[in-house]
Amino acid sequence: MGTKWKSIKLLGALIVVMALFAFSNHRSQLRKPTEISLKFLGDDRLFITQDAVNKLLIQNYGSLENLPKDEVVLDSLEQTILANDMIKNAHVYYTVNGQLKANIVQRTPIGRVQGNDKFYLDDEGKRMPLSPFYAARVPIITGEVTGDALSQIYELLKYVNQDGFLRKNLIGIHVVSDNDFQLRFRMEDFVVELGAIEKLPQKFANFKAFYAKATKDKILGAYRVVSLEFDNQVVCTKI
């Protein structure tokens, strides 16, 4: 009798727990979310603000406070956020207590095209619009920037960003033609004639050796043009 009574009590407790879980889950599904909580991962210099993202969501869905939880499609919210050209990745989710959150990763500009058509070049080699909220400090790209030239500039900037000296000091790239590029460096008046985007390790090794020697001799200001177009040498033109 005792064993049977214990089994009945255990079954009853199990039924109660299942009923509470179902009730809690039902209430959770009906619970209306508050405004979505946004978190920008990585760089805190925002090309798009939290208010701008919230306005984007309101334009598409209205106030999320008016929607039950089971009517909120997370994938759809993510795609709406990703439709903004400033955003690289977004993950929308509910916390265990029912709070709606979104983790957002912005795109990363590595160069800025300054011409009739103004835009950033991002770290995937794609065009990225300028932001009304923040201007990135990246090398300025001038000249006739064709599609082929832009793809070569992307390869150049990928190389530059892996080198501490170049990343810190390069401020400008000028497109002479699709296979001919000039560079500008911080605090120096001379133009560096890079030529084609080839043999970059050799060209920049030669340039850094020249730069170190000219800095030591205090003669950097004497040059107007520094050419890296010739194999294994740096050819300089004085002012």
Q: Check: CB of residue 36 under 8 Å from CB of residue 100.
A: yes
Whether residue 79 is found in the same domain as residue 126: no
Whether residue 230 is found in the same domain as residue 119: yes
C-alpha 188/C-alpha 203 separation (Å) is 18
Segment 132-140 mean pLDDT: 95
**Taking all residues of the chain, what is their mean pLDDT, rounded to a whole number?**
85
Whether residue 116 is found in the same domain as residue 222: yes
Whether residue 81 is found in the same domain as residue 141: no
Asked which of 32-41, 152-161, 228-237 is least confident by mean pLDDT, the reply is: 32-41
Distances (CA, A) of 232 to 157, 204, 207, 228: 22, 10, 10, 8
Single residue among 73, 89, 106 that ends a domain in this structure: 106
Here the contacts of 121-127 (C-beta below 8 Å, separation 24 or greater) are: 121/150, 121/153, 121/154, 121/157, 123/158, 125/150, 125/151, 125/154
Whether residue 84 is found in the same domain as residue 185: no
User: Both tokens of residue 62?
Assistant: 């209205």
Percentage above 90 pLDDT, the chain? 58
Segment 21-47 mean pLDDT: 64
Single residue among 106, 126, 145 that ends a domain in this structure: 106
DSSP 80: H
Ramachandran region of residue 10, left (φ > 0), alpha (ψ -120 to 50) or beta? alpha
Q: Which residue has the higher pLDDT, 119 or 58?
A: 119
Encode pLDDT of 152-188 as tens digits. 999 999 999 999 999 999 999 999 988 899 999 987 8
Whether residue 156 is found in the same domain as residue 197: yes
Distances (CA, A) of 137 to 133, 164, 167, 221: 13, 15, 11, 25
Whether residue 148 is found in the same domain as residue 229: yes
Q: Which domain holds residue 164?
A: 109-238
Whether residue 162 is found in the same domain as residue 196: yes
The domain spanning residue 137 has which CATH number?
3.40.50.11690
Single residue among 74, 106, 138 that ends a domain in this structure: 106
- Best-predicted range by mean pLDDT (4-8, 40-44, 75-79, 204-208): 204-208
Name the pTM for this structure: 0.80
A 10 A CB-CB count for 126 gives: 14
Residues 136-151 as b/e (b if ≥16 CB within 10 A, e otherwise) read bebbebebebeeebbe
Asked which of 22-26, 89-93, 190-194 is least confident by mean pLDDT, the reply is: 22-26
Pairing mode, if any, of strands 191-195 and 170-177? Answer: unpaired
Going by pLDDT thresholds of 50, 70 and 90, the confidence category of residue 32 is: very low
The domain spanning residue 42 has which CATH number?
3.10.20
User: Both tokens of residue 162?
Assistant: 């892996």
Residue 188 pLDDT: 80
Query: Is the confidence at residue 26, as pLDDT, over 50?
Result: no
Encode pLDDT of 185-223 as tens digits. 987 889 999 999 999 999 999 999 999 999 999 998 899
Going by pLDDT thresholds of 50, 70 and 90, the confidence category of residue 140 is: very high
